[in-house]
Amino acid sequence: LAVRDQLTGLLNRRGFNELSDNAFAMARRSGTPLSLIMTDIDRFKFINDKFGHAAGDAALKHFARLVSKSRRGHDVVARVGGEEFAMAGLFASEAAARIWFQALVRDVACRRPDGRKVTVSLGWCIAEAEENMSAQLSRADHALYQAKHGGKNRAVRAVSGGPRMIAVA
């Protein structure tokens, strides 16, 4: 019944589900907005195909280290499958969340493990009390899909009425 991803040391999907439910409950009690994020490494299949699985593993570990460094004490961060990561964090405002996400996207793009450029796309939403965690992660995942199709290396927020692009640079 492991809750950690063996490669990155982050939580796995099971661990994320357990702890994000707690974060959601804390957000409801405190009235603090909870942001849910789905992100993955851009062109990950290309990295594996061109440079091999060891390079793919290095990219996953690199991203996990960056996220871990920028993670605040109460944030929940997990590798939920392949090159996909999920995060849940309490932010005082939408602006504070946006600043953190933009910095993460820029930081990943600026650093190059083994001389290779790595970028990420990110989809996020602010949790809504009437939705369950699964529905909210689905909204964040849809925003991630929009980020990927909008050119990658960017953050997109899911809002009522459809996703909204957030400038990265």
Catalytically active residues are 83
Per-residue CA distances from 123 to 15, 126, 131 (Å): 20, 11, 17
Q: Which amino acid is at 119?
A: T
Which burial class, exposed, middle or buried, applies to 57 when counting CB atoms under 10 A from its CB (0-12, 13-18, 19+)?
middle
| CA neighbor of 15 nearest in space, from 80, 98, 85, 66 | 80
Q: Which amino acid is at 56?
A: G
Residue 115 has which token pair?
């001389």
Q: Which amino acid is at 67?
A: V
